[in-house]
Amino acid sequence: MSETARVFDDLAEKYDSWYDRNQKLFEVEAETVPPPLSPSIEVGCGSGRFMQKLSIDVGVDISVRLLRIASRRGCKVVLADGAALPFPAEVFSSAYLIFTLCFLTAPEDVLKEVWRVLRPGGVLVTCIIPLDSGLGREYSSKNNPFYRIARFYRLDEARLMIEKSGFSITEVRGVRLKHSDDDFVCITSMKAEDG
C-alpha cells in the first residue's frame, strides 16, 4: 500500500469531515468547477463530495475507506490507481482531477492514462491549490498529515504538465478562498479531436 493510500485510509473520516466544517469554502470551490459532460470520471474522487455535488458518473481512488464513504453518498466508485484505469480507451467525455495532482507520485502517468480514456474532444478539468497562491503557501508550510504527503505545484508547472500530456488548455479559472484570487484554480483542457 502506498503512503498516500495509507494516510487517506487511516484518516478517511477526518478528511471527509473537513467539508462539513468548511461548507462555504466547498460551495465556492464546487461553483468554480465546470460541469461534467457525460459520461464523466473523477480520478482521485476521495469521499465523493465533488462527485455528488457535480453529478460525476464514476470515480476512482486508491483509498478503500474513502470509497466506502463515497458509496454511502450514492456515488459509483471503483478501487483503482489513476495510472492504470480499468476502462477501455476513449470512453469518457470529461475527466476530473480535483485536489488530486498534488497527491500523485507520478502525475504524468496519470495524465497520460486520463488522456487514453477520454474521447477525442474530451475535456479534462484539473483543479489545484497553486504553490504560489496565498493558500498554497499556507498549506505547504503546515504540519498536517495530508499536506505532508502533498507536492504543491505552481500554476505554470501544472499547465506545462497538462500540455506535455497532449492536452490543449482552453480556460483557467481561479477564485479567492482565503488569501488571493488564485487560491483555488481549475484548468480546463481538451484532448484533440484527432486524438
Instruction: Provide the CATH number for the domain around residue 148.
Output: 3.40.50.150
Q: Summarize the confidence of residues 88-117 as an average pLDDT.
A: 95
Residue from 49, 76, 81 nearest 62 by CA: 81
Domain count, the chain: 1
Instruction: Calculate the average pLDDT of the chain.
Output: 90
Domain that holds residue 24: 3-191
Contact between 124 and 42 under an 8 Å Cβ cutoff? The reply is no
Minimum mean pLDDT range among 87-96, 99-108, 115-124: 99-108
The yes-or-no verdict on residue 194 having pLDDT over 70 is: no
- Regarding pTM above 0.85, the answer is yes
Confidence of residue 170 (pLDDT cuts 50, 70, 90): very high
Q: What is the dihedral of CA 1, 99, 194, 76, to 10 degrees?
A: 70
Q: How is the chain split among helix, strand and coil, in percent rounded to 5?
A: 40, 25, 35
The yes-or-no verdict on residue 31 having pLDDT over 90 is: yes
**pLDDT for residue 16:** 80
SS3 187: strand
